[in-house]
Chains A and B, each alone.
Chain A
């Protein structure tokens, strides 16, 4: 099957939209599930299947799959948490007994060690795996059982969210995940065991003596370089970090005009080139001075350019969430979508941006198929 890597999937508060074309020629070509809250989407490029996650509110979280690029959709299973063992103490940061119930899905990625298998990150903090394209799911007990898990906090969502899953290009049994707020973890045995990887990160929202605890790290988004897999980029709640030593440690980068944000993208063929979409700060989650900008480094974070061409530069209050920035496999096309419902694309790595839509619902995810 030939897949057009410039097909773009947009998940929004009120529907799922498909964009075709690049740069100024990009257009919305179809709409799906209009009115429904589409949290995120992913494509299994091995078989071309599209997956869409919906939060129906009253009716819970649902997962739909399409084998014919959106012409028909089939609802499949969602992860289910096992019953909490009697007597198990699991008090959330809000002082309540944590319910072992699926509250949301915040990440979904093909598990590349087996055809049709998927990894799924959820709220309140469980990682699941399906061997059968979402027809059934199993909790990864090894991660759910780590000692610090009950201390993971809510961030973004009121309960911990597994929002990032990176399957290592060197070995599909190596998988890293990031949790808001529960740190960065990696397995090298297909999920049987996990180790935290947060050395160098810090958290300013807990007492100072706890600031380097792995479980407090709110890594908003982590991407692994496909071409230099020892390089990882992280947009953290406290700023931007980079690991160039295969997660052994992280180095903080200070970026102008701001290091606060949610999303990060890395070039598919150059681990030193990455993009961020800054907001003013934790306390002010809006662009600085009403100007939407993208920051780009081409040298591993030593220097950053501020990209503005085609982006609104006055009275713009767009926020770009963690799943709302993506780069296509060509390394040239990027897309970003905002909570204000604006969708921008570029076909030259961000030198020039084109607004594709101004009136979409709040955008939660943009993803090249």
Chain B
């Protein structure tokens, strides 16, 4: 997962700080679905991603 995001961030450098924090961990109220499953490793983004995987990066519901 980290490799995928790094590729995206390389094309859009400003996006990085919106999705991950300065340690590279997923921001608290962001969520990622990989093939319909919620990402397990939010800290290191080590979840396996296949060549045909479908990935959604979403804002989690929160706030008021």
* Residues of A bordering B, CB below 8 Å: 91, 93-95, 153-158, 180-181, 205-207, 209-210, 218, 237, 262, 285, 319, 321, 339
Contact = CB atoms under 8 A, between A and B. Distances in A.
B36 A158 contact: no
30 contacts: A93-B31, A93-B60, A94-B28, A94-B42, A95-B38, A95-B39, A153-B61, A154-B60, A154-B61, A155-B61, A155-B62, A156-B61, A156-B62, A156-B64, A180-B61, A205-B59, A205-B60, A205-B61, A206-B33, A206-B56, A206-B58, A207-B36, A207-B54, A207-B56, A209-B36, A210-B36, A218-B61, A285-B63, A319-B64, A321-B64
A205 B60 CA distance: 7
Given A95-B42, A205-B58, A285-B63, 12 more contacts: A93-B38, A94-B28, A94-B42, A95-B39, A95-B41, A156-B61, A181-B61, A206-B56, A206-B58, A207-B33, A218-B61, A319-B64
A296 B14 CA distance: 42
B49 interface: no
Nearest to B39: A95
A8 B53 CA distance: 54
Interface in B17-64: 28, 31, 33, 36, 38-42, 54, 56, 58-64
A156 B58 contact: no
Contacts of A218: 61
Q: Secondary structure of the B side of the interface? A: loop
Contacts of A156: 61-64
Contacts of A262: 64
Contacts of B64: 156, 262, 285, 319, 321, 339
A237 B63 CA distance: 12
B52 to A, nearest CB: 15
Interface of B: 28, 31, 33, 36, 38-42, 54, 56, 58-64
Contacts of A180: 61
Nearest to A158: B62
Contacts of A207: 33, 36, 54, 56
Contacts of A339: 64
A330 to B, nearest CB: 29
A237 B62 CA distance: 10
A153 B39 CA distance: 14
B59 to A, nearest CB: 7
Nearest to B61: A155
B23 to A, nearest CB: 15
A264 to B, nearest CB: 15
Nearest to A93: B38
A207 B57 CA distance: 9
A206 B59 CA distance: 9
Contacts of A205: 58-61
A210 B59 CA distance: 16
A155 B29 CA distance: 10
Contacts of B42: 94-95
A237 B60 CA distance: 12
Nearest to B54: A207
A271 B6 CA distance: 53
A337 to B, nearest CB: 13
Contacts of B38: 93, 95
Rank and list the top 8 A-B pairs by shortest CB-CB distance, nearest first.
A155-B61, A95-B42, A207-B56, A207-B33, A95-B40, A321-B64, A207-B36, A156-B64
Contacts of A158: 62
A94 B60 CA distance: 9
A227 to B, nearest CB: 30
A95 B60 CA distance: 13
